Amino acid sequence: MTQLASAGSAPLRSAPALAAALRQMNSGTIRFGSLAQPAAQALPPMYRLRSGEQQEESDAAARLIGEVAERMRRLTAAYGEWRDFDAPAYFDLPTTFTKQIVRVVERVSTVHVIFFADLLLPSFQQATDVWERQFLPAYQARHVTPDAYRHFFEEEQPVMQRAWEALVNTLTLTRTQLMEDIGFFTTNGADDERMRWQAIWQQPPVA
């Protein structure tokens, strides 16, 4: 929680972070911003998820997360073999994108490695794009004119709601497929990410 106490910026790396951004709408102490996505051809095939039907996306996401979970599980033994851990090499990702999707926190006796898989989901990319390019600017301009007010509530708000619901549905379908994957449950950090942002969720929504 202390991470949220002071002013600063926060990248949109997860659905819980996007939920916090929607709740706060950049009216509070944290300035949210989406991250640039690499071109699909710059990613290894295992990380390329095509947009399409929700079931198709969730099937591909479940396979991807299962593979990443296995790498995370093996990392427990492999990490000590590196003098300096090379995350791009281990996860087979471009260096610039690895800095966005992987966070390594080294402490005295423990190492925490977080892989933000949401960033690879087309539904998440779509939702954050709608939030940053359409929804937030329309929200900030809603009181400029009566037309701007109507535009926000009648056009942009429904678009954002559909994008958010599509993301939630994809995540739900994906998690359902992973319910029996032991590797997923032993490496899943979703609860920690939700706890990080829940203080903002509990605040009254901005008007």
What is the extent of the structural domain holding 53?
42-188
What's the pLDDT at 89? 94
pLDDT mean over 74-91: 89
Judge whether 59 lies within some domain: yes
Three-state DSSP state, 93: coil
| pLDDT(29) > 90 | no
In a domain, 2, yes or no: no
119 found inside a domain: yes
CA distance 93 to 46: 10
Higher per-residue confidence, 205 vs 145: 145
Burial 177-207 (b: 16+ CB within 10 A, else e): bbeebebbeebbbeeebbebbeebeeeeeee
Q: What is the mean pLDDT of the chain?
A: 87
Closest Cα partner for 121 from 184, 158, 172, 191?
172
In a domain, 120, yes or no: yes
- How many Cα neighbours within 13 Å face the side chain of 4? 17
pLDDT in tens, 144-202: 999 999 999 999 999 999 999 999 999 999 999 998 888 787 788 788 888 888 888 77
Is 166 part of any domain? yes
Residue 2 has a pLDDT of: 37
Q: How many domains does the chain divide into?
A: 1
Task: Report if residue 6 sits inside a domain.
Answer: no
Q: Within a 13 Å sphere around the CA of 31, how many CA atoms are in the beta-carbon half?
A: 3
Give dist(CA 62, CA 52) in Å, integer: 15
Does 95 map to a domain? yes
For the chain, what percent of residues have pLDDT higher than 70?
Answer: 92
156: DSSP letter: I
Q: Please indicate, yes or no, if residue 148 is contained in any of the structural domains.
A: yes
